[in-house]
């Protein structure tokens, strides 16, 4: 396991060489040879996003970037940071399936959720499974690139005492390894295709990419893409894409029992109650559930305090009585249908394979009947909104959604309860 990895500088801060990312000073004919497509030229423009000073970045060593290191970095528009309890991560991973189980509520509810899923839109070129694209990316990496962005499967695990790096949630590129600094234009296009492949078509990609801006990451080139393990010859691997308000994965089911390959994180900077937030449709439909509850039901559903954020917020609870909120099975038929619509909404950005896996885990963990729905008003907030978090929770399942001041969502679903 490497103890220190030399960071790459921004090519535009050093003397450019033919074939590198920085092209200032090269003739237009050479540029055209280096950037043969419109897509590549667009990516070069994206790479012009300002980066930290070279001297500061020279001091950034990967050295097993910890979840706490990444999540303690506050969002640029956030006052708070995410605290992580690694010792309890294994329980978090096991709870991933619970999120699905909570939502699936048996074969009937799961069937209704899946039946309402829209078919992914067609792409402009023949689509490849994300796993195949990851293998293609890995095969084309140079030895120097692999030193930067390919890490051992158990990197950061510390002999089982810590959460492996591949299973942590990040708010920025892992180890500050920006795509623009590591990958060629052609490889960046391959990374974009991989990310699109784990989404449910153009609409899913639009939401995951936050209209292509990736929040404060600015562009895909401002995010990070790191490989763990070896995707060739059926070996275990995980491709982790991370940036501002985002951690998603593709792992070819290498992580046994885990939906989405491990805990997932997504968010968006606009106010969670604003239609400018790409995930507002999820909050809007949860509002419809809240509005449909009777006063007596709301007393059960509203929970004082906060569920928190980060790993601690998606840790599975062993006892049902420890799961706050109102049970799905105690709702009326029309109210259950509203919950099922929320389930479809939160899963809608992701590819069918992952949605199917989620629903299978939900059924295996006891179905939707065991899922709790809770709303959390935050007394520290001075706004007049009724609540600031909503949460679905059950055996091996947590979908923890913060609405205000902007969206932060932490997801954990696993059959290993």
Mind listing the pLDDT tens digit of every residue in the chain (417 residues)?
443 333 322 333 333 333 333 334 444 443 444 444 444 444 444 444 333 333 333 333 333 333 344 444 445 555 443 433 333 333 333 333 333 333 344 444 444 444 444 443 444 555 679 999 999 999 999 999 999 999 999 999 999 899 999 999 999 999 999 999 999 999 999 999 999 999 999 999 999 999 999 999 999 999 999 999 999 988 999 999 999 999 999 999 999 999 999 999 999 999 999 999 999 999 999 999 999 999 999 999 999 888 999 999 999 987 766 788 999 999 999 999 999 999 999 999 999 999 999 999 999 999 999 999 999 987 676 677 778 999 999 999 999 999 999 999 999 999 987
Closest alpha carbon to 82 in 236, 362, 327, 307: 307
Tokens read off for 406: 């902007």
Question: 241 — alpha (psi -120 to 50), left (phi > 0) or beta?
Answer: beta
List for the chain the helix, strand, coil content (%; round to 5).
Answer: 40, 15, 45
Alpha-carbon span 404 to 280, nearest angstrom: 11
Count H helices and E strands in the chain, helices first. Answer: 16, 10
On whether the CB atoms of residues 362 and 97 are closer than 8 A, the answer is yes
Alpha-carbon span 97 to 87, nearest angstrom: 19
| Residue 140, φ and ψ in degrees, nearest 5 | -95, 0
Identify the H or E element spanning 413. strand 407-413
Helix 185-197 / helix 130-139 crossing angle, nearest 10 deg: 160
What are the residue ranges of helices labelled H in 171-267? 179-182, 185-197, 201-208
Question: 262 — alpha (psi -120 to 50), left (phi > 0) or beta?
Answer: left
Burial of 93 (0-12, 13-18, 19+ CB in 10 A): buried
On whether the CB atoms of residues 396 and 98 are closer than 8 A, the answer is yes
Q: What pLDDT sits at residue 384?
A: 74
Tokens read off for 219: 């562009």
Tokens read off for 158: 């510390």
Tokens read off for 82: 């995410």
Alpha-carbon span 1 to 263, nearest angstrom: 24
Closest alpha carbon to 412 in 338, 362, 364: 362
Sign of CA dihedral 179, 208, 375, 366: negative
Identify the H or E element spanning 91. helix 89-94
Alpha-carbon span 314 to 310, nearest angstrom: 7
Alpha-carbon span 251 to 237, nearest angstrom: 6
Q: Which long-range contacts (CB under 8 A, 24 or more apart) does 189-194 make?
A: 189/37, 189/39, 189/40, 189/43, 190/133, 190/136, 190/137, 190/140, 191/137, 191/220, 191/225, 191/241, 192/220, 193/128, 193/133, 194/130, 194/133, 194/134, 194/137, 194/225, 194/239, 194/241, 194/250
Alpha-carbon span 102 to 109, nearest angstrom: 11
142 CB-near residues (< 8 Å, 6+ apart): none
Query: Given the structure tokens 């500061």, which residue do they identify?
Result: 56
DSSP 8-state secondary structure symbol assigned to residue 260: G
């Amino acid at each position: 396991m490497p103890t220190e990895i030399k960071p790459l500088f921004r090519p535009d801060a050093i003397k450019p060489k033919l074939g590198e990312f920085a092209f200032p000073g090269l003739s237009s004919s050479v540029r055209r040879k280096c950037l043969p497509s419109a897509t590549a030229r667009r990516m070069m423009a994206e790479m012009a996003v300002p980066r930290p000073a070279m001297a500061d970045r020279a001091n950034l060593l990967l050295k097993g970037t910890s979840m706490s290191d990444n999540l303690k970095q506050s969002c640029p528009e956030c006052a708070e940071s995410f605290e992580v309890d690694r010792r309890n991560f294994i329980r978090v991973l096991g709870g991933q399936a619970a999120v699905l189980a909570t939502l699936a509520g048996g074969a009937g509810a799961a069937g209704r959720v899946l039946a309402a899923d829209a078919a992914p839109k067609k792409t402009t070129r023949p689509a490849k499974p994300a796993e195949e694209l990851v293998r293609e990316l890995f095969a084309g990496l140079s030895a120097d690139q692999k030193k930067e962005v390919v890490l051992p499967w158990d990197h950061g695990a510390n002999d089982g005492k810590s959460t492996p790096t591949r299973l942590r949630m990040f708010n920025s590129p892992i180890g500050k390894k920006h795509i623009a600094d590591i990958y060629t234009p052609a490889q960046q296009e391959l990374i974009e295709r991989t990310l699109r492949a784990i989404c449910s078509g153009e609409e899913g990609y639009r939401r995951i990419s936050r209209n292509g801006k990736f929040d404060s990451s600015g562009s895909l080139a401002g995010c990070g893409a790191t490989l763990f393990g070896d995707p060739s010859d059926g070996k275990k691997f995980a491709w982790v894409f991370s940036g501002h308000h985002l951690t998603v994965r593709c792992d070819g089911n290498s992580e046994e029992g885990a939906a989405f390959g491990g805990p997932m994180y997504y968010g968006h900077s606009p106010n969670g109650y604003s239609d400018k937030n790409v995930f507002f449709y999820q909050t809007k439909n949860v509002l419809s559930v809240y509005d449909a509850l009777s006063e007596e039901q709301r007393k059960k559903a509203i929970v004082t305090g906060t569920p928190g954020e980060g790993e601690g917020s998606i840790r599975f609870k062993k006892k049902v009585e420890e799961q706050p909120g109102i049970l799905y099975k105690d709702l009326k038929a029309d109210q259950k249908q509203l919950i099922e619509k929320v389930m479809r909404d939160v899963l809608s950005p992701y590819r069918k394979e992952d949605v199917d896996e989620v629903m299978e885990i939900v059924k295996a963990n006891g179905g939707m009947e065991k899922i709790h729905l809770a709303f959390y008003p935050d007394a520290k907030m001075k706004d007049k909104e009724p609540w600031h978090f909503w949460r679905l929770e059950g055996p091996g399942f947590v979908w923890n959604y913060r609405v205000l001041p902007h969206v932060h969502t932490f997801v954990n679903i696993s059959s290993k309860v």
